[in-house]
Amino acid sequence: MEIIEKVKDEGLQAIQNCTDSKELNQLKVTYLGKKGPVQALMAQMKDLSNEEKPKFGAEVNQLKQLLANAIDEKAKALEEMEMVKKLESEKIDITLPPIETKLGTLHPLTVVQQEIEDLFIGMGYQVAEGPEVEIDEYNFTRANTPEGHPARDMQDTFYIDPTTLLRTQTTAIQMRVLDTAKGKLPIKVICPGKVYRRDDDDATHSHQFTQMEGLVVGENITLADLKGTLQFMADAMFGEGRLLRFRPSYFPFTEPSVEVDVSCHVCQGKGCNVCKQTGWIEVLGAGMVHPNVLEMAGFDSKKCSGFAFGAGIERIAMLKYGIDDIRNFYTNDVRFLKNFNRFD
Ligand code: DAH
């Protein structure tokens, strides 16, 4: 019995002092294994009298159970402790500030172009595009500007060969749309795109710029429809309550043709630097599609009519954002471009 007490005390002490699971495994072998003290006690049973045997046996069994339980409990405690330690050592410090990722921004011309597109898509227009390397036919001839027409000289053209050029106006897209419609009405499109002219670059001129063409053809389309549409666009782009002024003008592909001014959004028409003290800002050219244009594309100009307009996107963006040099759009200075970052 003394030995049982001794083994129990020593064993429990050793288990309690144990600090890692390997050591605990070793203890398990030492105490409960074949060569351990519990087993040795069991072996002594045979030397005892029949009366002593049951009591002694029960005591040894109890000891065995006690040690086994203590080991199990300790194993659980150690496992938990080791897990905590592991988690601690593998911890990721999520409070560390990340390296800032620099996001690009939409180009201001893209912003304005998408804004106008959305506006017209909302009115049921479709967006049409065309090639920048264009044939003379669509850029000029179909736009009622045949060879030798003086209006061809109004736009200094980059010719690639005698019949191929870099389009000088998105009006070329308009002519393609009319052509592919094959007489089917109605047509409601806007045509954004890059255009090219042999201009010397300065604060207000660029050899490459962006235009947005609008075209509506159907039955009984009138100048009043054009006015209403442009009023809607002016209000959306420059703020409610813009006044529009239509001045007679000339384009070969429209009759009548107009030059459209919007009342200055900076001074409300009183006169300032932006509107050069006139109270008005010229924003686009427009008119009623010339019957020749409709006929050349296979439409009966007695049965249908249409309006068209063409605006410079750079010009609208410059007015809207107070940009005073068109070259800013093309020099790709991030200090300029990041002003248009919508994520800041
Ligand atoms: N294509 C003309 C230009 O580049 C702009 C223009 C004027 C387009 C009147 C049109 C229009 O569609 O009807 O100067």
Neighbours of 189 (CB within 10 A): 21
326-330: Cβ within 8 A, 24+ apart? 326/201, 326/203, 326/204, 326/205, 326/206, 326/209, 327/201, 327/202, 327/203, 327/206, 329/107, 329/108, 329/109, 329/206, 330/206, 330/208
pLDDT band, very low/low/confident/very high, at 168 (cuts 50, 70, 90) = very high
pLDDT at 343 exceeding the cut of 60? no
If you average pLDDT over residues 166-182, what whole number do you get? 97
Ligand 1 centroid – CA 214 distance (Å): 9
pLDDT at residue 242 is higher than 60: yes
CATH of region 108-340, choose from 3.40.50.1000, 2.40.10.10, 3.40.718.10, 3.30.930.10: 3.30.930.10
Task: Compute the distance from residue 87 Cα to the ligand 1 centre, in Å.
Answer: 70
C-alpha pair distances (Å), 9 with each of 6, 65, 67, 195, 317: 5, 14, 10, 97, 90
Q: How far is the CA of 138 from the centre of ligand 1 (A)?
A: 14
Phi-psi region of 268 (alpha: psi -120 to 50; beta: other; left: phi over 0): left
Q: How confident is the model at residue 53 (pLDDT cuts 50, 70, 90)?
A: confident
Say which range, 119-133, 149-163, 195-209, 305-319, has the weakest mean pLDDT: 149-163
158 vs 3: which has the higher pLDDT? 158
Q: pLDDT band at residue 342, thresholds of 50, 70 and 90?
A: low
For ligand 1, whether the C-beta of 37 sits within 6 Å is no
Three-class SS state of 124 = coil
Query: Is the distance from the beta carbon of residue 286 to the nearest atom of ligand 1 less than 6 Å?
Result: yes
Confidence of residue 101 (pLDDT cuts 50, 70, 90): confident
Are residues 212 and 121 in contact, defined by beta-carbon separation less than 8 angstroms? no
Taking CA atoms only, the protein residue closest to ligand 1 atom 6 is: 310
- Supply the pLDDT for residue 97: 87
84-98 tens-digit pLDDT: 999 999 988 888 888
Question: Of 170, 213, 227, 257, which is best to mutate to test ligand 1, by the most ligand atoms within 8 angstroms of its C-beta?
Answer: 213
Query: Hey, whose CA ends up nearest to atom 9 of ligand 1?
Result: 286
Ligand 1: which atom is nearest the Cα of residue 214?
A: 12
> How many secondary structure helices (H) and strands (E) does the chain include?
12, 10
Q: What mean pLDDT value characterizes the chain?
A: 93
Q: Of the ranges 152-156, 230-234, 283-287, 301-305, which one carries the lowest mean pLDDT score?
A: 152-156
- At 239, which amino acid appears? G
pLDDT tens digits, 208-222: 999 999 999 999 999
Ligand 1 close to Cβ of residue 310 (< 6 A) = yes
For ligand 1, whether the C-beta of 195 sits within 6 Å is: no
Using pLDDT thresholds of 50, 70 and 90, give the confidence band for residue 141: very high
Residue 344 has pLDDT above 70, yes or no: no
Would you say the CB of residue 36 lies under 6 angstroms from ligand 1? no
CA of 305 relative to ligand 1 center, distance in Å: 17
pTM value? 0.72
123-133: per-residue pLDDT in tens?
999 999 999 99
Residue ranges covered by each domain of the chain: 2-89, 108-340
Position 3 scores a pLDDT of: 87
pLDDT digits (tens, 9 = 90+) for 198-207: 989 999 899 9
* Ligand 1 center–CA 309 separation, angstroms: 6
User: Is residue 150 over pLDDT 90?
Assistant: no
State which amino acid sits at residue 201: D
pLDDT above 70 coverage of the chain, percent? 99
Residue 275 CA to residue 263 CA, distance in Å, equals 9
Q: Output the pLDDT for position 45.
A: 84
Q: Which residue has the tokens 């963006």?
A: 317
